[in-house]
Structure 1
Amino acid sequence: MAEAALSSAQAKMAEARGLLPAEDKESPETLVGFEARTQQLPGGFEKRQLFKSQASEALSLAKEALVSFRRAGESEKKVAALRVVVDANMAIENSFDALMAASDELAMIKRADDKKAQVAVTQMLAEVQAAHNDFGSAMQSATDALDLQRQLGNKAGEAQALQTQASLKLSAGKGKDAVTIATQALGLYQELRDVAGEAACKRIVNRGYAESGQLEKAPNRTEAVQALQALASAVENKDKRAWQAAIGQLNKSSAYTQQDVHEIFGEALKKDRKAAAAFLQE
């Protein structure tokens, strides 16, 4: 019964996520300095309600599974159920409940001295704390996760924990620290030949240099400048496809600032304010 409940909960959350706009880093909504339209679920109020309804159903099922797996001592499945509980609570904007669920489970796992489960839940806790903008607590949780990964001899986990720390430093406005930590993670990802991890850390390094006013040190600044030029051309020519391609390239590099983007829009608006404004609002 518990396994069926967990499977159903995971399926419900997958369905709910399917209603959301794709989290595409090449999307205009992720462009620094671009005030895009307010993100809404396609279909408006009805789809938003359906999203929350599915997440709520997933939460109920996952809670049931979590209790059963906890009683049975099935650690891995318990963590999987908790993952859904945390995600579903965040989806329906019950972030406090997500925080308490992760915190309470972590306390129980520590008493059982299950390091593998402990590191997974500690990482979940860091995510929720960061969502609360409690970067101090999130950094402590990420540090705890890093220590556990090292104790377990898990290099992939160590790289992930370092990446989390670097992201938190970046979110807290500490670009230089983010660069230092992301560079450590990058070295591990390169050793592991993890291409996705490498790309993610390079973006953090570039953003860290951008945020700390050291763009000249950003390894992908040249690519960013080329993408900015392509973006300016796309705005001037009102070419939506070229615009999307330029944003994709720009966000792959991440070595740009709000000022870079505002200068492009400023020049376009000077040349033909009405046409440029209409294009940017499409």
Structure 2
Amino acid sequence: MGENSSRDITLQLLEAITNNFSEDRKVGSGEYGDVYRGVLDGEDIAVKKLHFLEGTDDRQFHYELRNLIKVSHKNVVRLIGYCYESRHKYMEHNGEPVLAKRMERVLCSEYMHGGSLDKHIADESCGLDWPTCYEIIKGTCEGLNHLHTSWDKPIFHLDLKASNILLDNSMKPKISDIGLFKLVSSTKTGIKEIFTRRQSIWYMPPEYIDMGFISKKFDVFSLGIIIIKVMAGNLGYSNCGIMSPKEFIKLVRKKSSSPYHEHS
């Protein structure tokens, strides 16, 4: 069980390789931050500039960062570097420019050329063939098992969903955005923000929504929804609650281009 060789990267260097975080380098924008493509030491990397959230707990950020640094698994996105640097900027306050201190938090990881899994899941089915889908499901399970069992204290993802499963050139899955849910939820505006994100709520177990209870079962519940969506599409997931097991299996077999029992 190895550990990431991630390093501290200056904000100045990150600005240089992303053309000052320009729009033409932006490849995505999500709940936690904007993602830019850059090249560091000859390698394509994804540079995630985290959104500023009022009341961000520095201790929580460093705790989640330490978790990321120690994770090394073929099915978890590799952390390459990070930046935690303060800047003084003029910001408007009551109509007047005020010099304020702002902390910039940036995470750099390997660039996943295959994009995110959600881009391949349509309403009717997953656009990938069954052998590829099977390997995505298997790899995601192995990555999550690594997070849950490789240390005395398990690492909970808490925001596992199709958009956080990234694919490389060979369509191998890797789990991303580990720890960011807990970082956001620790801020003053975090809980409200989380519960206004409908996509995330669909992946949350009822015991968390109702009582805020967290265990390994949280991630396993989310994983189950991902598997159903891969097997039956978004509409298949929406309808599976009113189907019998036989009806669901029939639906999945109908949508699959290859027999499911090949890997059973």
Point out the structure with the larger strand share.
2
With the length of structure 1 as denominator, give the TM-score of the two structures: 0.27
Q: Which has the higher helix share?
A: 1
**Larger RCO: 1 or 2 (CA < 8 Å, sep 6+):** 2
- Which one has the largest radius of gyration? 1
